[in-house]
Every structure is written in structure tokens, then in C-alpha cells.
Amino acid sequence: MASVRVRFAPSPTGYLHVGGARTALFNWLYARKHGGVFILRIEDTDLQRSSDAMVQGILDGIHWLGLDPGEGPLFQSSFLEEHRAAAQRLIDEGKAYYDFTPKLETDDRTVKEKMVDRLKAQAQTGKEPNPYRDIPAEEARARVESGEPAAIRLKVPSSGVSRFEDMVYGPQERDYSDIEDLVLIRSDGHPLYNLSVVVDDIQMRITDVIRGQDHLTNTHKQVLLYQALGARVPRFAHLPLIFAPGREKLSKRKHGEVVSVTTYRDRGFLPDALVNFLALLGWSPGGDLEIMSRNELIEKFSLEQVNKSAAVFNFNESDARDWTDPKALWMNGEYIKSTPLDQLSPMVSGFLKEAGLWRPEYEAERSEWFGRTVDLLRARYRTLADFAELGRPYFTDDFPCDPAAVKKNLKDDRLKQLLPELASRLESLAEFTHESAEAALRSLADEQGIKAGLLINAARTALTGQSVGPGMFEIMVALEQTRTVDRLRRAVHLL
């Protein structure tokens, strides 16, 4: 087997969406698994839509996920001459012909729309032979030389069956009579998708084409082109589509930022967690295995275990906390818990900086405290952004109070005396530890004949503005004596 060379070939749409990222990842995993090369090719021949900014969003997403290519990015637009030359060769060999039908001139819809329309039209009417298919080569050349605009079409055999084996979807068949003579070059000289993709894949010596299932039907046309160009046909693997809730196509216009990979970066995902989650969108190693490091993914990955049915990616952009797939958030939380602290802390500090909560002493004299606090908080957080939002009370005195928590935990009138008394007792402790703080609180509760829980819940809300969080004495230790005492005193205003 020739050494594996695969490619991810996105169109530059300005952002890398979750589906594209999954395709990139499966190519990357396959290349790693087989000691092959992963190539990034930007399919930027749609000139109206291509710009540096459109490309940058894709590169940023790929880079953040840690899927940097071994070759590339290469730009399809730099190979237009090769595409034209290949079409010319097919003309010279009688495998393609000039089509002088004028209407192609004004047709400015996108290539994809055209393909869909044509497929629909074919399904209804069957294939009609193109009148220019068999005009003598000499005559056609003379017309082209005289300046008459002409598209170039491939001559598809009029009978027989096209066959190829897909590594995911199995054997594929289509009658040649169902395949139109595809346009290779538009009459304005612009090479079209099927030609460009095949010529590039040949030139880049691609051994395995791994891409979205939406390209499965194009593949028959591409196989014909490989054959016409006398090239070895690569193996194909099409990946099940990823749908938005309601089985809709993922789209940024419709679904917002939540489908874009950089949103995951900006909202506090760890790249390893998103990679792990994406790997399981349409693939499973069998068994219950879910959390897998990159190395485990590489080791276990195989195209044979890719599902045929579409995966659904659940998200709810309008929910501030549960904005993305619950499994993705859960998985990210697991990575936050298990990532070594010396790797996690710098990621957390990035989010604190962004929120204006960072202090240089956190990496100097307060670094031990900082590490301990991150370690305490991470048990309950699902994103790095949680450290700056839910974790805010640990890094600043200026934090919001949840009105529901105040209502629930600070409504008892007795707290007006109890909280300042608790504050004074904690202030007088010579050593402020989990144990000494707990003993002080419990003895106050005993003396007053009240449940310790009343004080514990009240103190949690007084100290953090929240009703949930780490153990209350751990909170006190994290806030340390002075801040604990001050906040307990200050809370009287909330009562």
C-alpha cells in the first residue's frame, strides 16, 4: 500500500464549522494511524467568496484544534492552469468535447446549486444526449479558435455501470445513463469543482479521500475523471452528516456562532476535549469508551467503525449556560478535572485576564494559592469561562449576588446577629484552617441552639453570592481569613 496521503479540502467560508472540523479530524487521525501525511487544501476557486479573512477563520480553527497539516495550506486557485491543461488533454484525446450551448454563459449560480438542480432534472427526464458531443473535432477546434465561447464537458459512456467501494457506505453503483456529461470548464474558462478536485488529488498523490457524505454522489463523476486521466482511483470514505437539532443542516447564518470551532475556544473549551467529542460524532471504538486521549484516538480509530447514519449535534444558542451539546460540556468538564494543573492554570489565567480579574502575583508570591484555588474550583466547572464567571468571587470582591440564593439562604432574621458574631469568632482564630473555621461555626450554632446548616448556607451565599459551590469551609480557606470576615460582615446589608 502506497504510504497514506489524505487531505481536508474546505471552501473558505470564514469559519471552521463543527462538521468540517470532524472531517479534518478523521483525516488527521487516519493519517496519524497509518504514518501518513495530512494535507490542507483550501478550495478557493470561487473567487467572489474567497478572501484572506475567509481563509483565516479556517486556519485558526484547525490550528487551535491541534490538527496542523503536514503539507499546506495549499490553495486550489494556484492550480487553475493544471486544471485547464487536464481538460485540454481530455479534449485532445477525444474524452471530452466542447459544448457551445450559449446559456451556460449567463449562469452565475453557485456550482453546488447547479449540481443539485441538474441531479433533480436528470431524475425526472433521464439523460438527453448533448448535441455537441459528436461534432467533428476539427470543426469544434475551428469554432473555438474563432472565439466562440465553449464549455468543456466530459464524455460519459452512454451505457454501463459506474462502481466503487466506499469504506463507510459500502459498494456504490450508478448507471452511466444517469450521469450527465459533466462540465469540466465553464465557457468563461473557469474550471469546475469535480475537475479541480480530481486534478488536485492526483497531483497531491492522495490515496484516501475522506469527506462528508454530501459528496458521495459526485464520486461517480470523479471516478470517471480519474479513469479518463489515466490515474489511479483513490479509496473513498464518506462520513455521515452532522445535523443541527431538528435534522437541519448546520449553518452559521441559521444557528449562529455555536457551529463555529473558534466559539468553543472563546467560550472555554479545551482543544483536546473538543477533539474527543468530535471524534465520537459518527464514530465509536465499541464498548463504553468515551474519554480518550489523542493517542488513544489514533490507536483505536478506524474507518470501518464509522456509522452510516447522520449524527445530531445538540445545542441551544439561546441558553447562556447550556449553549452547546450537553455531552460536549460534560466532556470538557472531565478534561478540566483531569488536565494537569500546571497545564490548566495558564489556560484559566487567559480567561481571568480577558475578564480583568488577573493579578501578576498569581504567578509570583500567590502562585501556590492560585493553583490551589483553580484545583478547588475545577471539580464543578465545565468550561474555562466558568472560572471567570462562577469563579469571580474568588478573584475579586466585586461579584454579583444571585437574588434566589439571597432569598433562600439569607432570609432568617437571626442572621443579622449571627453573621457578625461568626465573623468576629473567625477573626480571632490564630490559625485559620478548614478545621478551626468549622469548629468555630459549629460551636456558635450549638451555643445558639440552631442548626449548623443555617449558618453554613448563609455563609456560602454571603461569601460567594451563590447557593452552590465547593464545601463551605473550603471556600473560607480559599478566600482566607480577612476576606471571609469582611464578607460575612458586609452581608448584613443583604438581609
Residue placing its CB nearer to ligand GLU in the complex, 234 or 268: 234
CA pair distance 131, 154, nearest whole angstrom:
13
Cα–Cα distance between 385 and 267 in angstroms, integer? 6
**Region from 5-13, 44-52, 117-125, 174-182 binding ligand GLU, contact rule CB under 6 A:** 5-13
Site stretch for ligand GLU (CB under 6 A), options 3-11, 138-146, 307-315, 487-495:
3-11
Assign 136 to helix, strand or coil. coil
Residue nearest ligand GLU, CB atom distance: 211
**Binding ligand GLU by CB under 6 A: which of 11, 345, 409, 466?**
11
**How many whole angstroms separate alpha carbon 133 and alpha carbon 183?**
12
Q: In whole angstroms, how close is the CB of 202 to ligand GLU at the nearest point?
A: 13
Residue of 6, 10, 181, 386 interacting with ligand GLU (CB under 6 A): 10
Q: Is 19 in the site for ligand GLU (CB under 6 A)?
A: no
Q: What is the per-residue DSSP string for 402-444?
A: -HHHHHHHS--TTHHHHHHHHHHHHHT-SS--HHHHHHHHHHH
Contact 16/10 with Cβ under 8 angstroms?
Answer: yes
Q: Determine the residue type at 328.
A: A
Nearest alpha-carbon partner for 213 in 240, 193, 251, 249? 240
Q: Is residue 235 involved in binding ligand GLU (CB under 6 A)?
A: no
Q: Residue 389 and residue 227: Cα distance in Å, rounded?
A: 58
CB atoms within 10 A of CB 412: 14
CA atoms within 13 A on the CB side of 248: 12
Given the complex with ligand GLU, which of 20 and 469 has the nearer CB atom?
A: 20
The nearest distance, CB 45 to ligand GLU, in angstroms, is: 9
Cell readout for 71 is: 503539507
Assess 57 for contact with ligand GLU (CB under 6 A): no
User: Of 6-14, 278-286, 379-387, 439-447, which segment contacts ligand GLU by CB under 6 A?
Assistant: 6-14
- Shortest CB 232 distance to ligand GLU, Å: 17
Tell me the closest approach of the beta carbon of residue 269 to ligand GLU, in angstroms: 23
- Beta strands 183-185 and 5-8 are unpaired
Closest approach, Cβ 198 to ligand GLU, in A, equals 9
Closest CA to 236 of 226, 228, 245, 244: 226
Residue 9 binding ligand GLU, by CB under 6 A: yes
Q: What are phi and psi of 391, to 5 degrees?
A: -85, 0
Residue 252 annotated to the active site: yes
Q: What is the smallest separation between the CB atom of 10 and ligand GLU, expressed in angstroms?
A: 5
Please identify, among the stretches 4-12, 223-231, 233-241, 481-489, the one whose residues bind ligand GLU according to the rule CB under 6 A.
Answer: 4-12
Q: Is there binding between residue 114 and ligand GLU (CB under 6 A)?
A: no
Query: Going edge to edge, which strands form the sheet with 71-75?
Result: 71-75, 37-42, 5-8, 208-212, 235-239, 161-166, 170-175
Q: Are 261 and 242 in contact (CB under 8 A)?
A: no
Nearer to ligand GLU by Cβ, of 238 and 425: the residue is 238
Task: Please say which residue, 211 or 220, places its beta carbon nearer to ligand GLU.
Answer: 211
Residues 194-213 that bind ligand GLU (CB under 6 A): 197, 211
Query: Considering only CA atoms, which of 96, 334, 306 is closest in space to residue 216?
Result: 306
Type of residue at 361: E
| Size of interface with ligand GLU, in residues (CB under 6 A) | 7
**Cα–Cα distance measured from residue 100 to residue 93, given in angstroms and rounded to the nearest whole number:** 19
Cβ atoms of residues 474 and 401 within 8 Å: no
Which of positions 160-199 make contact with ligand GLU (CB under 6 A)?
197
Closer residue to ligand GLU (CB): 6 or 185: 6
Judged by CB under 6 A, which stretch of 7-15, 61-69, 97-105, 245-253 contacts ligand GLU? 7-15
User: Which one is catalytic: 127, 252, 327, 337?
Assistant: 252
In the complex, the smallest distance separating the C-beta of residue 41 from ligand GLU, rounded to whole angstroms, is: 8
**Which of 215, 267, 327, 359 is close enough to bind ligand GLU by CB under 6 A?**
215
Q: Is 43 in the site for ligand GLU (CB under 6 A)?
A: yes
Closest approach, Cβ 96 to ligand GLU, in A, equals 20
| Cell numbers given for 185 | 470548464
Stretch that binds ligand GLU, among 8-16, 366-374, 386-394, 443-451 (CB under 6 A): 8-16
Reported as type and span, the H/E element at residue 236 is: strand 235-239
C-beta separation of 153 from 131 below 8 A = no
The residues that touch ligand GLU, with contacts defined as CB under 6 A, are: 9-11, 43, 197, 211, 215
Active site members: 252
